[in-house]
Amino acid sequence: MLRADEEGAGEPAAPTAPVGETVEEVVERARASGLRVELTRRGPDGGTPAMADRAVHRLVVESLTNAAEHAPGAPVRVALERTASTVTVAVSSGPAARPAGGEPPARPASGGTGLVGLDERVRLAGGRLTHGARADGGFVVRAVLPLEPGALAPEAVRPPAPTSVRERDRAAREVRRGLAQAVWIPLALVAALGVVMLVFGLWTQSRSFLDRDDYAGLRVGDALSADAERLPPHPLDGPPAGAPPPSRPAWTTACTTGRR
């Protein structure tokens, strides 16, 4: 209905299959339209729950329609396998016919609405849908559906996340990784710079002190060049810790108070 609305209110409604149509009848309709379809069945006969039966019917119809559209002329195989607790349906289409002197046409990209709807229908019936390309260029759609509650293990029932969800999760992880890098990289650089400055400060401070023996050898009036070797190679950035503030000469104090 949503797809019909997108096409326009004046468009005719999409044709529907006859009510109660079996898989055999679907295959016969496809053969009558010119599609090369082979149907195989395995397992015992028996009743199928309504939800599972409609899911099987919908999968076969959708898969045959896609095969006729995307791989015209290719053989299609529909396989139904039934056990005491599950029914498995698989539709496998071969690659499209190779044109004379050329490569086989690539399978056109589809909007994916058919597979999304199939996935939802199979999930509501308690089953699991898988689909993908084959090594020879064909395509296969497969669903496993339970015939009774609890026939499938929970991990088998849970469908794989749609591509949009996986892409969204991947984008969210990349955003979180980018934010973490934007925060931690500057912090790490600042911390590294702080460590370097601390080490350099400690090193320069150790090279800014004059030994007691060298200090005792200094004499007022000696030439600076004579004592250059005794002086520390680096000046101290500030007064040593615990040193009293430097006293001002008496004449500066007198000028400050207005006395001469």
CB atoms within 10 A of CB 83: 13
Tokens of 123: 């999930």
Cα–Cα distance for residue pair 86/48, rounded to 1 Å: 9
Q: 52 with 86: CB under 8 angstroms?
A: no
Q: 91 with 77: CB under 8 angstroms?
A: yes
Which of 9-23, 58-72, 96-110, 224-238 has the highest mean predicted lDDT (pLDDT)? 58-72
Share of the chain residues as helix, strand and coil, in percent rounded to the nearest 5: 45, 15, 40
Cα–Cα distance for residue pair 156/153, rounded to 1 Å: 5
Q: Return the H-helix or E-strand segment holding 99.
A: none
pLDDT at 161: 55
What confidence category does residue 101 fall into, taking pLDDT thresholds of 50, 70 and 90? low
Supply the mean pLDDT for the chain: 76
Q: Return the H-helix or E-strand segment holding 188.
A: helix 163-206
- Written in H, E and C, the secondary structure of 34-75 is CCCEEEEEECCCCCCCHHHHHHHHHHHHHHHHHHHHHCCCCC
Q: Which amino acid is at 183?
A: V
pLDDT digit string, tens, across residues 177-202: 888 888 889 999 999 999 999 888 78
Cα–Cα distance for residue pair 254/252, rounded to 1 Å: 5
Select from 79, 92, 88, 17 the least CA-distant residue to 48.
Answer: 88
Q: Per-residue pLDDT for 58 more than 50? A: yes
* Percent of the chain at pLDDT exceeding 70: 68
Q: 91 with 56: CB under 8 angstroms?
A: no
